[in-house]
Copies of this chain bind each other. A is one copy, B any other.
């Protein structure tokens, strides 16, 4: 590391090409799935993430909603930025800068449009390197934030059984959870409320349906947790 000349920068904007790349996630067949669209003929890969440039005056999340809707047929319920990339990796539209956005869609959402298809996260086809990175970041962000943010509820229809909810958590966390503990913790969290409806799915006792209805929490904050330092 050598000395840096002690002159202030004269800041100035610079023109670049920008794309919004959307990772639509949904639980399909007991796995987290990503929505991909067929790439134009002649592209290096057969599939890409849904992407486009934001229109003038259009916010990034608004652009993501438009882009996802075009592939899914309906707008996802939730969007979250997962990072902006500007490195050497190739983008299918040669954008200099990509804004990666994760979108969550309930399992019950309609089938995707003609040129789009769900792929399980573990079995994706080849993607442009930039898109591959965006997918990995989206998965990591969603998995990491699942207990800070009501992400899991955005992957379920408006009413759901507690077993459904637990299954989504297990999908996101990648491990089994204990039924009684899960329910006790959920109870204490005041995040859901029961409805009058019951869901009967063939065998077994019918399950009560719940809806996401977070209430004010008792203010008792806990000490620090040095947990979860996964890196």
Contact = CB atoms under 8 A, between A and B. Distances in A.
A53 interface: yes
Residue of A69, A95, A175, A223 with highest tally of chain B CB at under 10 A: A223
A93 interface: yes
Interface in A169-183: 169, 173, 175, 177-178, 181-182
Nearest to A7: B70
Interface in A182-231: 182, 185-186, 188-189, 191, 214, 217, 221-229, 231
Given A223-B181, A224-B169, A70 B8 contact: yes
Contacts of A181: 223
Nearest to A60: B86
Contacts of A173: 224
Given A9-B70, A87-B59, A177-B223, A150 B14 contact: no
Contacts of A217: 229
A77 interface: no
Contacts of A177: 223-224
Contacts of A16: 15-18, 53-54
Interface in A85-121: 85-88, 93-95, 97, 99, 113, 115
A81 to B, nearest CB: 6
How many identical chains are in the complex? 2
Task: Name the prevailing secondary structure of the A interface residues.
Answer: loop
A182 B229 contact: no
A224 B14 contact: no
Contacts of A83: 81
B86 A14 contact: no
12 contacts: A8-B113, A16-B16, A16-B17, A16-B53, A18-B18, A60-B86, A81-B83, A84-B84, A146-B224, A185-B225, A189-B226, A189-B227
Interface of A: 4, 6, 8-9, 11-19, 37, 50-55, 57-60, 66-67, 69-70, 81, 83-88, 93-95, 97, 99, 113, 115, 144, 146-150, 169, 173, 175, 177-178, 181-182, 185-186, 188-189, 191, 214, 217, 221-229, 231
